[in-house]
Structure 1
């Protein structure tokens, strides 16, 4: 079984996910833009039982981050863990986005990903 690990910038919070994600995508929504400081967020979702973490986290509006360095890491729900893939310890070169969500807010200079589902808002 594949195990991926990740952490915040200062290393105070670490996490791991087991197995393959349920879905991988890019999000162009306003909340992801604001919370990341970027034009989009690269994320993947795993079943909640496949996720574990250590270290103190803070959470705002469902988004968890390190209270020391501010790194945005994951969004935890009862049934799923959504990981910001840039926080993985190793580049996620084997994970390709299958969906792009909130494309109505995608920058015009960003082209749609070939083969990825395109959704104006959240994917169903």
Structure 2
């Protein structure tokens, strides 16, 4: 079984996910743009049971981060763990987005990914 690990910038928080993600995407929504300070967020979702973490985390609006360095890491729900893939310990990742959400907010210079589903809002 494939195991991937990740951590915050200062190393105080670490996590691991087992197996392959349920989905991989890019999000262009306003919340992701504001919380990342970037034009989009690259993320993947695993079943919650495949996720574990160590270290103290803080959470705001469902988004967990390291309280020491501020690195945004994951969003935990009862059934799923959404990981910000930029926090993986071994970039570049072998994961490729299979969908893009909130494309109505995508920067005009950023072209759609040809093999990814395109959604004006959330994919659900």
Normalised-by-shorter TM-score class: over 0.9
Q: Is the 8 A contact 1:102 1:122 kept in 2?
A: yes
Secondary structure of the structure 2 residue equivalent to 1:94: coil
2 CA distance for matches of 1:97 and 1:2? Answer: 18
Equivalence for 1:71: 71
Residue 53 of structure 1, CA deviation:
0.1
* CA offsets 1:56-94 (integer angstroms, 9 cap, x no match): 000000000000000000000000000000000001431
Is 1:24 aligned to 2:19, yes or no? no
Rounded Cα–Cα distance in structure 2 between residues aligned with 1:92 and 1:17 = 16
The corresponding residue for 1:7 is: 7
Does 2:50 align with 1:50? Answer: yes
CA 1:70–1:56: 2 relative to 1, 3 Å: same
Aligned to 1:33: 33
Structure 2, gaps ≥5 residues long? none
Cα separation, 1, equivalents of 2:115 and 2:6: 27
Contact 1:101 1:122 in 2 (8 A): yes
The TM-score, its normalising length taken from structure 2, stands at 0.99
Task: Provide TM-score, normalisation by structure 1.
Answer: 0.99
Partner SS for 2:86? helix
Segments ≥4 residues shifted beyond 2 Å = none
Alpha-carbon distance in structure 1 between the residues aligned to 2:56 and 2:83: 17
> Can you list the C-alpha shifts for 1:12-47, whole angstroms capped at 9, x where unaligned?
000000000000000000000000000000000000
Cα distance in structure 1, aligned partners of 2:119 and 2:92: 23
Corresponding residue for residue 102 of structure 1? 102
